[in-house]
Amino acid sequence: MTIKEKLKKLIVETLHLEDISPEEIEDDEPLFGEKLGLDSIDAVEIVFQVEQHFGVGIKNMKEGRPALESINTLAAFIEARL
C-alpha cells in the first residue's frame, strides 16, 4: 500500500467516517472542507495516528496546519521525515 492509500484508510477508520470509503478521498481535496466534515479534534487525532503508524511527529498545529491540508501535503510531510 502506498503512503497515500494508507493515510486514506487510516483517516476513514480512526475517525469513523462510515459513509465514505478510502478511495473516495481525493489526493488533493481539502481534508477540512465540506465533504469530510472534519474538525480540530479530528486534526489532532490524525496527528496522533500519523505518529503511531509512521513514527513521524507533528509538534504543534503551526507545523500541522500546512501538512494537514490534503492527502498530498500530508504524504509529502511524512515522506520527507521517514
Residue 2 or residue 73: which is nearer to another protein going by CB? 73
- Residue in 33, 35, 37, 66 binding another protein, rule: CB under 8 A: 37
The per-residue DSSP string of the chain comes to: --HHHHHHHHHHHHTT-TT--GGGS-SSS-TTSTTT---HHHHHHHHHHHHHHH-----SHHHHHHHTS-HHHHHHHHHHH-
- Our finding on whether 16 is near another protein (CB under 8 A) is yes
The footprint of another protein on residues 60-79 (CB under 8 A) is 60-61, 64
**Does 39 help bind another protein (rule: CB under 8 A)?**
yes
Q: Which is nearer to another protein, 41 or 80 (CB)?
A: 41
